[in-house]
Amino acid sequence: MQFRYVATGVVLAMALAGCQRTSYSDLPPQPAPLQAQPVPQVQGGQLPPPGPADPSQFPTAPQGNQNMAALNPNAPPPANAQDVKKETMVGNWRVSNGGASCDMFLTLTNLGGGSRGGTRGCAGELTAMGSWEVSGKMVQFKNRAGDVIGRVYKSAENRYDGTMNSGQPVSLSR
């Protein structure tokens, strides 16, 4: 019985020893707080209207039949278009669209009238991409409603070039 009291006393002493205060004097000194700096006076006023002041600064819209082979699904493919196999399209692609780049992912999972696909970090029409399909030598990108938003043709090994419906050039590579 006495052993139980001794053991309890030892355990209690050890627990209390763990609660003793330790010194933090070995730590480096903390930096002094930053001093407040004066703030310059804020000015108010009316902003100018949005857009360029000179309307001639806007680029002109495409006229006539410029690059219509990429926009018209019934037009013949470009002369340099190579055969496309759906299985070789599957995977991750680096997309260049309007001077920016992003990622495109293509799968063989069925989604409506095509296969599931999507983009990450893209802008413009490509943000709405939900599926894709191969039609002859053409690869069509579709939005989530199933409408074609762009087309590309195989121009080299692991490279596809084409146009979005807006007329913006687009290329895929890996």
Please give the DSSP secondary-structure letter assigned to residue 45.
-
Q: How far apart are CA 172 and CA 153, in angstroms?
A: 10
Q: For the segment 63-118, what is each residue's pLDDT rounded down to a tens digit? A: 444 444 445 556 677 878 898 999 999 999 999 987 889 999 999 988 777 899 99
Q: DSSP letters along 90-147, please?
A: -EEEEEEETTEEEEEEEEEEEETTEEEEEEES--GGGGGEEEEEEETTEEEEEETTS-
Domains of the chain: 77-173 (2.40.128.10)
Whether the full predicted model's pTM is greater than 0.75, yes or no, is no
Identify the helix (H) or strand (E) that includes residue 171. strand 169-173
Q: For the segment 33-74, what is each residue's pLDDT rounded down to a tens digit? A: 888 888 778 778 887 777 665 655 555 554 444 444 445 556
Would you say 171 and 160 are in contact if contact means Cβ atoms under 8 Å apart?
A: yes
